[in-house]
A and B are shown apart, each in its own frame.
Chain A
């Protein structure tokens, strides 16, 4: 599979929107779902165009039909009317089992099969598609690596031996196993704690950056929609499309009072959720590789006028940020991993960065790009400046 072997680009380039697109477009024509015995259709005549390689978020109140609509895309629910096109091809009457093998599906808590190991879970679809064992095994390791789990450690574990966040990662890996162009996600991060959810969201953004799938994502959390979505569809009862636009546009001019209510009152501060860490200028800092001469690193940082050094492991990932005094006590740069090192991805929002700083009681966060490589450091002052700018813009 090619997407995980794309040449590594420098981390600082990760924020540049030159994404590879492996997804395909989805088009809905008058899709309707009418359950027998109900007066109003659950999904009423929906037309929707989802562009290739974009993440489209379905938001709306519970019972509005957004999940029903999602499940009609892979025909877990058969539409009672209308057509569904995938990559220009009408798939409404295609064999659903074959169709579903081209569409990844992620549900809450990953939906992993508890009696199968992580590797078996991930390898299910490839095996169904007739891949041989070595090819499947290679793919499994690749995917575990992609979602940030060490294959050697996690390959042979059973789901109950994983935390909720890890299960969810495996769920994403399983959905990506056969490299499907489309990924459907049904409130995948609904059951994990806020800190883990934030990490998983960052991870998804990073993966999507690399893969460029077409993702349809159902959530009831508008902040999540703003953070993850290239576009957002706001639904009302009967899956009526109230507004379909980019997050900026929806926040700036809600189409109806209904949307304004849904978006919430703090819309000026919500702009914080729109600004990515990668959009503000990051501070470049002195780095030191594990095992190199500590005194040289201290000298380099002093020369640059900085009072700390970011230590990188052998894969270029930040593991700690000792002060010069701390580092001066060692002869070589130590391999110690700081568990409280605040880290966010370049695609994280300023909101996330601020949250992370507060949670760690630190005045800044380390920012990572592709493959968790260092992209720079974001200080709290830079976040405050961005808030002031956005408030000034809104006021002006």
Chain B
């Protein structure tokens, strides 16, 4: 029978918990640091482009296309296409993904995933042209094509995210008297958020890239620069368009990462 000289907490075997407060603080800081590099790269790229643009001697055609107002209009069109398509994708694919993981529709999910897979496997340019011959040229058709193309990652990640939730947690929720909807909104969706959002980010980056094809069916956007550059053999236009699309994609990807970082549920 001894008198211990140490003063550990009562119930020592069980109080050996992870000091998660400090650990997660550290992880948080590291996460933000990683997030900080990407916008710096984008800014540097933009700056380099602006410097080149101000100092370059341009032909009349080039100057018309690369005028600040024209550039701003193309970029705005491009963003509008991306955002419109993204909003529609979110509004369609997330609810569909949820529905396909519920008991009544679960058997249908391989079928729907198959269709979505085909949509993405089809060459984007083919999808654009086929839709245009059917629906006509313009903004609306472009958005439809983009939605078809970008729905898959969101749909699949919504389903994977929901299926990845430990079924015992769902049972625990139901077992304590939560309704199916309450379990979905308070347990399943919050836990699936990281996976769903990473699908959304993938879709956004896809959209920015694919929206360059809009120019072929009169949808506008930064693709116009690239297309004009190719047809008129004007490298300055071609490269400007490509660089701006790349910077836009990086910026959108970064925004997605920030949202993911902020929306990640605490405690995971």
A interface residue numbers (CB < 8 A to B): 74, 76, 97-101, 104-105, 107-109, 111-117, 124-125, 128, 148, 157-163, 165-166, 174-175, 184, 195-196, 199, 308, 317, 319-323, 326-327, 334-340, 362
What 9 A-B pairs come out closest when comparing CB atoms?
A111-B172, A158-B267, A101-B177, A100-B177, A115-B265, A105-B175, A322-B3, A339-B12, A161-B20
Interface string of B2-23 (1 = CB under 8 A from A): 1111111111111111101100
CB <8 Å contact, A338 and B3: yes
Does B27 count as interface, using CB distance less than 8 angstroms?
Answer: no
B194 CB, min distance to chain A CBs, angstroms: 10
CB <8 Å contact, A339 and B4: yes
CB <8 Å contact, B17 and A125: no
Does B178 count as interface, using CB distance less than 8 angstroms?
Answer: yes
Does B107 count as interface, using CB distance less than 8 angstroms?
Answer: no
Q: How many A-B residue pairs have CB under 8 A?
A: 125
Q: With A322-B3, A336-B6 given, can you name 5 additional A-B contacts, CB distance below 8 Å? A: A158-B266, A160-B267, A321-B1, A326-B2, A336-B5
When chains A and B are docked, how far (Å) is the Cα of A54 from the Cα of B173?
25
CB <8 Å contact, B176 and A107: no
Given A74-B175, A111-B172, A124-B176, A336-B4 contact (CB < 8 Å): yes
CB <8 Å contact, A308 and B191: no
CB <8 Å contact, A163 and B15: yes
Smallest CB-CB separation from B23: which chain A residue?
A161
When chains A and B are docked, how far (Å) is the Cα of A76 from the Cα of B170?
11
B interface residue numbers (CB < 8 A to A): 1-18, 20-21, 168-169, 171-179, 182, 186-187, 190-191, 265-268
B187 CB, min distance to chain A CBs, angstroms: 6
Q: Which residues of B contact A335 (CB under 8 A)?
A: 7
When chains A and B are docked, how far (Å) is the Cα of A319 from the Cα of B178?
41
Q: Which residues of B contact A340 (CB under 8 A)?
A: 2, 4
CB <8 Å contact, A160 and B174: no
When chains A and B are docked, how far (Å) is the Cα of A317 from the Cα of B191?
41
Given A101-B176, A338-B2, A339-B6, A108-B267 contact (CB < 8 Å): no
CB <8 Å contact, A115 and B14: no
CB <8 Å contact, A115 and B191: yes
Within 8 Å by CB of A114, from B12, B14, B176, B268, lies: B268
Residue contacts A-B, CB under 8 angstroms, 8 given: A107-B168, A114-B268, A115-B190, A161-B17, A308-B1, A327-B3, A337-B9, A339-B12
CB <8 Å contact, A337 and B174: no
When chains A and B are docked, how far (Å) is the Cα of A258 from the Cα of B173?
37
Within 8 Å by CB of B1, from A108, A163, A174, A323, lies: A323
CB <8 Å contact, A97 and B3: no
CB <8 Å contact, A337 and B7: yes
CB <8 Å contact, B265 and A326: no
CB <8 Å contact, A319 and B3: no
CB <8 Å contact, A159 and B267: yes
A270 CB, min distance to chain B CBs, angstroms: 27
When chains A and B are docked, how far (Å) is the Cα of A80 from the Cα of B182?
26
CB <8 Å contact, B18 and A128: no
CB <8 Å contact, A128 and B178: yes
When chains A and B are docked, how far (Å) is the Cα of A76 from the Cα of B11?
35
Q: Which residues of B contact A124 (CB under 8 A)?
A: 176, 178
Given A158-B20, A336-B3, A107-B267 contact (CB < 8 Å): no
CB <8 Å contact, B14 and A117: no
Q: Which residues of B contact A362 (CB under 8 A)?
A: 1
Q: Which residues of B contact A199 (CB under 8 A)?
A: 14
When chains A and B are docked, how far (Å) is the Cα of A114 from the Cα of B164?
14
Q: Which residues of A contact B8 (CB under 8 A)?
A: 337, 339
Q: Which residues of B contact A157 (CB under 8 A)?
A: 20
When chains A and B are docked, how far (Å) is the Cα of A175 from the Cα of B2?
39
CB <8 Å contact, A319 and B177: no
Q: Which residues of A contact B5 (CB under 8 A)?
A: 336
